[in-house]
Amino acid sequence: MRSLNRKFRGLDYATDVLGFAYGQAASGDIRELGEVVVSPQAAISQAESWRTSPEAEMRRLIVHGVLHLLGYDHETDNGEMLDFQRRLLRRRAVVRCGPLLPGAACR
């Protein structure tokens, strides 16, 4: 993540999530926004720090990355993106599956 952050953002430190927007819409009716890259190590570490599950932290990071792909920017929007992110996660707008840790069950 540090290497990607340095290469694409010019910031020489590891980060937890990066979004890479595609420049052109995909062909047909499907619109591809881009790619979200999440650091599982950061998700696990942050989950421990915030006393939540790694799966919950991974969901938060994925939603965060997708919102960036949609054009939201928490550094300039006076809290709108992070408020929207909290509302989406509270509504469980994300499928709760795909365990991050071996042996964890989907809910």
For residues 25 and 94, which has the higher predicted lDDT (pLDDT)?
A: 25
**Would the pLDDT of 102 be above 80?**
no
Domain count for the chain, please give it.
1
Instruction: In whole angstroms, give the CA distance from residue 19 to residue 73.
Output: 12
CATH at 74: 3.40.390.30
% residues pLDDT > 90 (the chain): 68
Residue 26 has pLDDT above 70, yes or no: no
13, pLDDT greater than 70:
yes
Q: What is the pLDDT of residues 62-80, one digit of tens each?
A: 999 999 999 999 999 999 9
| Residue-range definition of the domain harbouring residue 57 | 2-90
Residue 95, domain member (yes or no): no
The answer to whether residues 33 and 69 touch, using CB atoms and an 8 Å cutoff, is: yes
Asked whether residue 56 is domain-assigned, the answer is yes
